[in-house]
């Protein structure tokens, strides 16, 4: 088994990146370690700011655990919520995510 997966991330400016993400860490962690985005993951990953709001590729949404009440409440404060809205700090990376595409939502 691999300890990393590849994620395809589109940042707020529309720039696309392929990053390596460590299994067991969160999507927020992977993006913070690799990309230098302003106002991303500002709360450090404790589900308190929604700056790590991302849109998950629809074919991967069903592979994720459902968002809990705290995450859903934080997503509600964002400007544009979608069916595939999630907070990167609440999604641990698994091997099933290899190749997953996601878009970083505009800053709140």
Q: What is the pLDDT of residues 31-76, one digit of tens each?
A: 999 998 999 999 999 999 999 999 999 999 999 999 999 999 999 9
Mean of per-residue pLDDT scores for the chain = 95
Which residues are within 8 A (CB) of 33 and not within 5 positions of it... i.e. 6 or more apart? none
Q: What is the mean pLDDT of residues 83-90?
A: 97
The strands making up 101-104's β-sheet, listed across from edge to edge, are 16-22, 4-10, 101-104, 53-56, 85-87
Assessment of whether the complete model's pTM goes beyond 0.75: yes
Of 3.10.20.30, 3.20.20.70, 3.10.580.10, 3.40.50.1100, which CATH number belongs to 4-104? 3.10.20.30
Alpha-carbon separation of residue 19 from 1, 48, 67, 69 (angstroms)? 18, 25, 24, 29
Alpha helical stretches, state H, 35-84: 58-61, 69-76
Q: Are 51 and 40 in contact (CB under 8 A)?
A: yes
Which neighbouring-strand residues pair with 19? 7
């Amino acid at each position: 088994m691999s300890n990393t997966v590849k994620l395809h991330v589109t940042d707020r400016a529309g720039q696309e990146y392929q990053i390596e993400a460590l299994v067991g860490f969160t999507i927020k962690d992977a993006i913070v370690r690799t990309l230098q985005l302003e106002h991303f993951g500002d709360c450090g990953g404790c589900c308190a700011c929604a700056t790590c709001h991302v849109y998950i590729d629809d074919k991967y949404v069903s592979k994720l655990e459902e968002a809990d009440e705290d995450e859903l409440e934080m997503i509600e404060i964002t400007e544009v919520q979608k069916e595939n809205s999630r907070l990167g700090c609440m999604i641990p990376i698994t091997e099933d995510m290899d190749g997953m595409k996601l878009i970083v939502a505009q800053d709140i």
